[in-house]
Amino acid sequence: MSCHLVYDDFENEALSAAISHYGRDRQLLKLLEELGELGREVTKLLLCEGDMEHLAEEVADVTILLNQLRMMLPYPYDKETAFFHEKCVRLLERIGMEIESEEQNDT
């Protein structure tokens, strides 16, 4: 399963149009708003009150605005990709250490 999405010309045009129409600052504020909505939806899931369709909608909203952020700012996407990879490596290492610790505690 891949985490990176590829956008077509229509989607890129829509993102660019939103930046042009609303402006950088408004879209950055909108990103903060949408992150809050996503957080509330995740909380609902933890409380067994969530709706997966609504979660998907909030993830899409945040993804749109994150991609606008990448377009608006002098953004080092290559560094993001490298950080993403490094963090995945560390995540797997941490999981491995936790499993090893659990196995030692079970013996």
CA distance 1 to 77: 21
- pLDDT digits 0-9 by tens, 31-71: 999 999 999 999 999 999 999 999 999 999 999 999 999 99
- Structure pTM? 0.83
- Say what percent of the chain tops pLDDT 70: 94
* Burial profile 39-74: b = 16 or more Cβ within 10 angstroms, e = fewer: eebeeeeeeeeeeeeeeeebeebbebbeebeebbee
Q: What is the pLDDT of residue 5?
A: 53
Query: Tokens for 39?
Result: 């957080």
Q: What is the pLDDT of residue 34?
A: 98
Mean pLDDT on 75-85: 91
Backbone angles phi, psi at 91, to 5 degrees: -60, -45
Taking alpha carbons only, the member of 1, 21, 2 closest to residue 68 is: 21
Q: What is the pLDDT of residue 6?
A: 60
